[in-house]
Amino acid sequence: MNKPKNGKNIFADKATFILRKMLSNPGRKWVTRDFTGENGVSLGMAQGVLEGMSKKGYIERVKKGPDSFALLTNTRELVQDWTKAYNFELNDAHTYYSPDKNIMSKLKDYLKDKEYCLTLHSGANLMTSYVVTDNVHVYFSPANWKKELLDLRQQLDLKELVRGGNIHIIRPFYKNSVYFNTQTIKGYRVASNLQLYLDLYQFKPRGREHAEYLENQLKEKGKNLYES
């Protein structure tokens, strides 16, 4: 499914760095080296992903020898196909319970020096206040997962229930790219608008509704869904 010549799925983790960069600056003329180097992908992956995107009609490749470039020409179809290939349930969710009404603020204070970002309704609500919920979903992926998760639970007194809960610590499926273009809203680190949209789109309850509302709100403010 959507695999370029090197066998990589263009909606796989590292491959999406290319999609995310292109969507964040849709009018730019891109060359392969824009996606390589430090914090980038290999030359082979960049070439393969661009080839796959070209075959699907998401980009136009202009061949001018050393001045060749790629231009993103079909953002809507790209994102819609991405929502079909990705589902939030691909993430590894660890669910706990807290009766504390200030748990989000305490979670923010605990994670302030660590890499994290809020997503789903708890992230989007900081912009929209659209869905009333006490559920908190936060991406967190420290190197020493078990130790850091245990410490977080102990510090915030999170309870493990037989079923249910309201605090969801998410070990991301997109372990390398989920933090691309994170944004700070009301003191919280939040996933990019694009990642929020992807996470919400297939999520129940009310995920697609919230995703579409978020997109419309951004449009009304003259902002692009893909930029943060």
185 and 97 in a common domain = yes
- Whether residue 4 has pLDDT greater than 80: no
**What CATH number does residue 209 fall under?**
3.30.460.40
150 and 103 in a common domain = yes
Q: Which of 81, 35, 40 is nearest to 58 (CA)?
A: 81
The tally of domains found in the chain comes to: 2
**Can you give the pLDDT at residue 228?**
61
**Tokens for 87?**
């589902």
For 137-160, what is each residue's pLDDT tens digit? 999 999 999 999 999 999 999 999
For 43-98, what is each residue's pLDDT tens digit? 999 999 999 999 999 999 998 888 889 999 999 999 999 999 999 999 999 999 99
Neighbours of 56 (CB within 10 A): 15
Distances, alpha carbon 170 to alpha carbons 8, 94, 98, 156, 182, in Å = 24, 6, 16, 16, 16
Beta strand 188-190 pairing with 183-185: antiparallel
CB 199 within 8 A of CB 191: yes
SS3 string, the chain, reads: CCCCCCCCCCCCCCCHHHHHHHHHCCCCCECHHHHCCCCCCCHHHHHHHHHHHHHHCCEEEECCHHHCEEEECCHHHHHHHHHHHCCHHHCEEEEEECCCCCHHHHHHHHHCCCCEEEEHHHHHHHHHCCCCCCCEEEEECCCCHHHHHHHHHHHHCCECCCCCCCEEEEECCCCCCCCCCCEEECCEEECCHHHHHHHHHCCCCCHHHHHHHHHHHHHHCCCCCCCC
Q: Across residues 126-139, what is the average pLDDT?
A: 97
Question: Among residues of the chain, what percentage have pLDDT more than 70?
Answer: 96
198 and 120 in a common domain = yes
pLDDT band for position 204 (50/70/90)? Answer: very high
Q: Which domain holds residue 152?
A: 88-220
- Whether residue 6 has pLDDT greater than 60: no
96 and 188 in a common domain = yes
180 and 148 in a common domain = yes
Residue at 225 is within a domain: no
**Can you give the pLDDT at residue 64?**
83
109 and 216 in a common domain = yes
Average pLDDT, the chain: 94
Domain end call among 85, 107, 130: 85
Residue at 23 is within a domain: yes
200 and 140 in a common domain = yes
- Whether residue 200 has pLDDT greater than 70: yes
